[in-house]
Amino acid sequence: MIKKIGFIAVLLVCLSSCTAVREYEKVYINDPDMVLGTKNIDRFETNFHAYREAAVGANGGKTGGGCGCN
């Protein structure tokens, strides 16, 4: 599994040099809904998942701190 993820990461790094979208072509990419992350309002949802589920991380949420025990 880890090898596959590593392979994909390396592949993406390599592919990234193939094309470049110019600044003036980024009108769609710059749409607020295209942001590669979560909005501030999603923090509550992310926190409750961290409390109620075993998995954390890789989602922009915190990965430690707090007991999460209620």
Partner 1 sequence: MKGFLLILIGFWSGMSVFAQTADSTSTYKKRVLENTEVDILSSYYSQTGDNAAVTGGRGTEELTDFAPSIVVAIPLNADDVLNIDANISAYTSASSSNIDPFDGSGPADPFVSSSGASSGDVWTNLNASYSHSSDDRDKIWSANVSFSNEYDYFSVGFGGSYSRLFNEKNTELSVKANVFLDSWKPIYPIELRPFAEGGNGLANYLFRNYTITGNADYQPQFVEFQNKSRNSYSVGFTFSQILSKKLQAAMELDLVQQDGLLSTPFQRVYFQDVEDSFIENFQLADAIELLPDTRFKIAVGGRLNYYLNEIFVLRGYYRYYTDDWGIRSHTASLEVPIKIAEKFTVYPSYRYYTQTAADYFAGYESHFSTEGFYTSDYDLSDFNANQYGFGVTYTDIFTNFHIWNYGLKSIDLKYNHYARNSNFKADIIAAGFKFILD
Residues that bind partner 1 (CB under 8 A): 1-3, 5-10, 12-13, 15-17, 19-23, 25-26, 28-29, 31-37, 39-45, 47-49, 51-60, 62-67, 69-70
Least CB distance from residue 42 to partner 1, whole Å? Answer: 8
From residue 46, how far is each of 8, 55, 56, 66, 68 by CA, in Å? 26, 11, 9, 14, 12
Least CB distance from residue 30 to partner 1, whole Å? Answer: 10
Least CB distance from residue 32 to partner 1, whole Å? Answer: 8
In whole angstroms, what is the distance from residue 60 CA to residue 39 CA? 10
**What phi and psi, each to the nearest 5 degrees, are found at residue 63?**
-115, 5
